[in-house]
Amino acid sequence: MFCYQCEQTAGGSGCTKMGVCGKNEDIQSLQDILLYGLKGIAAYGFHARELGAVSEEVDAFMHEALFKTVTNVSFDLNQHIAAVLKCGEMNLKIMEVLDKAHTQRFGYPVPVEVETGTRTGPGILVTGHDLLDLYELLKQSEGTGVNIYTHSEMLPAHSYPELKKFKHLAGNYGGAWQEQKKEFKEFSGAILATTNCVLIPPDNTYLDRLFTVGITGVPGAAHIQGRDFTALIKKARSLPALPEAPAKKIMTGFHHTAILGLADKIVAAVKAGKIKHFFLIGGCDGAKPGRNYYTELAEKVPADCVILTLACGKYRFNKLDFGSIDGIPRLIDIGQCNNAYSAVQVALALSKAFNCGVNDLPLSLVLSWFEQKAVAILLTLLHLGMKGIRIGPTPPAFITPNVLKVLQDTFDLKLITTPDKDLAQMLKK
Ligand code: SF4
Ligand code: SF4
């Protein structure tokens, strides 16, 4: 454990074995899980608030949960376990608020094929998750001759009617966030970072053409105020044009409302034995080794199974050709990590359609985590009672062996092993 939040911290530097206050490493672990879950809620709540949507209930929970982590408030293990599960419940609520705010503002996403190449002319590459920033930029750049490209988690923007209507929303460039340093250097236009995950550019590469907006900030990069993108558009027009370079198209936009439109087909295909199993392979991407597990797993999923995916981990396999089963794509991209609400709705709708509990569905969840929104989403899934979830590529360092055991005993939470071993186990379900 590590805690140095109060004056009595051990040796004036940090409690590492046991708190001077009496807090043990398991309480510290649960408090960290709670704090990280709250950070995830904060991200979703921030986006929703920017669109004018708030939740008094979630805000009140955040105050209560933060208060619980103050020195000498609670040393009770069960209270802390209840708080982290409540955090999952509140995350579901705020994801619902955000989903409604997105669909009310930008319409219901529709499945769409997205270009991954570039068009001749100046361009701006937009990364992050803030659809409102992208919308304002599209409005302000219309008719200027500048094409707008999405990077990484902005991909699902192409499926929202109020965004896709802009003809100069030209495509999706590059892969997941950890490729930025290479891909942003190669992209000759200007770059806009709207939220996480933005990286600090290596010296003398693209810092002079990197802009940040809203919550983001990078030393040396110009920061946009009040969503006035004039300087960014001007910069893009002054930079070398991108080449005409068509490339493979990728599908996205399977919001739960779009998947529910396929519900009859899906149910019929399952009943006819044409679809045997669903896999949700989703979550963050990252730079550490071990993440090729997810590519290998997706590649090894049998031909009579469907893969649901979301968030930027999918860049490891979303350009592969998975084909379809009776018109149902075998790879269904639900969207951003901000669309995790849709994934939950799909699971609940499937359990309704097959008249069984979520844990009785032929559905396996294999998640990749990187940062704190993933923690909030995992807590949501646990709050919903989902069992047998696999997480990786590495166990969170802030979960102690005792807390991990509680999660394993209660929720059958598993760490990933090898694609072959995990696949064989999952297909037994
Ligand atoms: S709150 Fe407890 S564990 Fe944290 S620094 Fe203070 S005494 Fe140590
Ligand atoms: S899915 Fe996670 S890792 Fe990927 S961009 Fe979003 S927050 Fe970052």
List the strands of the sheet with 363-368, edge to edge.
Answer: 331-335, 305-310, 277-283, 363-368, 390-392, 414-415
Q: Is the pLDDT of residue 19 over 90?
A: yes
pLDDT confidence tier of residue 203, bands split at 50, 70 and 90: confident
Q: Which residues line ligand 2 (CB under 6 A)?
A: 152-153, 177, 196-197, 284-285, 311-312, 337, 370-371, 373
What confidence score (pLDDT) does residue 92 get?
97
Cα–Cα dist 184/201, whole Å: 9
The predicted structure's pLDDT at residue 249: 96
Q: Which ligand is nearest to the CA of 1?
A: 1
Six token digits for residue 211 = 């802009």
CA of 384 to the centre of ligand 2 (A): 23
**Ligand 1 nearest atom to the CA of residue 71, by list position:** 1
CB 279 within 8 A of CB 426: yes
Structure tokens belonging to residue 116 = 């991954």
H/E stretch holding 278: strand 277-283
Predicted local confidence at residue 289, as pLDDT? 86
Q: What pLDDT, on the 0 to 100 scale, is given for residue 42?
A: 98
Candidate from 1, 4, 29, 30 with most ligand 1 atoms within 8 A of CB, to mutate: 4
Q: Which ranges in 239-353 belong to alpha helices (H)?
A: 256-260, 263-271, 292-300, 340-353
Nearest to 92 by CA among 389, 336, 380: 380
Q: Which of 200, 50, 175 is nearest to 125 (CA)?
A: 175
Q: Measured at the alpha carbon of residue 146, what is the angle toward residues 200 and 187, in degrees to the nearest 5?
A: 35
Kindly give the distance from the C-alpha atom of residue 351 to the centroid of ligand 1, in angstroms, as a whole number: 45
pLDDT tens profile 355-397: 999 999 999 999 999 999 999 999 999 999 999 999 999 999 9
Going by CA atoms, what residue is nearest to atom 4 of ligand 1? 3
Q: How far apart are CA 277 and CA 98, in angstroms?
A: 30
Q: Is the pLDDT of residue 157 over 90?
A: yes
Amino acid 32: pLDDT: 98
**Nearest bound ligand to CA 9?**
1
CB atoms within 10 A of CB 225: 9
pLDDT of residue 319 exceeding 90: yes
User: Is the pTM of the predicted complex or chain greater than 0.85?
Assistant: yes
Residue 205 reports pLDDT greater than 90: yes
Compute the average pLDDT of residues 91-110. 97
Tokens 């999923």 identify what position?
301
Residue at 204: amino acid letter: N
At residue 288, does pLDDT exceed 90? no
pLDDT band for position 126 (50/70/90)?
very high
Residue 335's beta-bridge partner residues? 310
- Protein residue with least CA distance to atom 8, ligand 2: 197
CA of 338 to the centre of ligand 2 (A): 9
DSSP bridge partners of 414: 390
Whether residue 98 has pLDDT greater than 90: yes
**DSSP β-bridge partners for residue 280:** 308, 365
Q: Judging by beta carbons within 10 Å of its beta carbon (0-12, 13-18, 19+), is residue 342 exposed, middle or buried?
A: buried
User: Of the residues 1, 4, 6, which should be mutated to test ligand 1's pocket, given the most ligand atoms within 8 Å of the CB?
Assistant: 6
Q: What is the DSSP letter of 201?
A: P
Rounded distance from Cα 194 to ligand 2 centre (Å) = 12
DSSP for 212-254? EETT---TTSEEE-TT--HHHHHHHHHSPPBP-B----EEE--
The ligand 2 atom at the shortest distance from the C-alpha of residue 311 is 1
Give the residue-averaged pLDDT of 248-272.
94
Prior bond of 3 cis (ω within 30°) = no
Interval 152-174 mean pLDDT: 97
Report the atom number in ligand 2 closest to the C-alpha of 196: 8
**Mean pLDDT, residues 276-282 taken together:** 96
% the chain with pLDDT above 70? 100
pLDDT value at residue 285: 94
pLDDT at 338 over 90: no
Which tokens sit at 3? 């805690």
Distance from the CA of 283 to the center of ligand 2, in angstroms?
7
**pLDDT over 90 (residue 290):** no
Ligand 1 pocket at CB < 6 A: 3-6, 8-9, 15, 19-21, 23, 71
Averaged confidence pLDDT in the chain:
96
Tokens in use for 82? 């209840």
Residue with tokens 């269904």: 332
Take residue 189 and report the two structure tokens written for it: 């236009």
Instruction: Evaluate if residue 429 carries a pLDDT over 90.
Output: no
Confidence category of residue 415, pLDDT binned at 50, 70, 90: very high
175 within 8 A of 184, measured Cβ to Cβ: no
- Spatial neighbors of 222 by CB under 8 A, at least 6 apart, are 210, 211, 212, 231, 232, 235
Which listed ligand is nearest to 15 at the C-alpha? 1
> What are all long-range contacts of 214-221, with beta carbons under 8 Å and residues at least 24 apart?
214/50, 214/130, 214/133, 215/46, 216/128, 218/193, 221/193
User: How far apart are the CA of 26 and the centre of ligand 1, in A?
Assistant: 13
How far apart are the CA of 143 and the centre of ligand 2, in A? 31
At residue 266, the pLDDT reads 94
Percent of the chain at pLDDT > 90 equals 97
Helix and strand counts by DSSP (H, E) for the chain: 14, 16
Q: Which residues pair with 58 in a beta bridge?
A: none
CA distance 149 to 279: 30
Q: Relative to the alpha carbon of 4, which ligand is closest? A: 1
Please say whether the beta carbons of 80 and 111 come within 8 A. no
Could you tell me the pLDDT band of residue 160, with boundaries at 50, 70 and 90? very high
- pLDDT given at position 35: 98
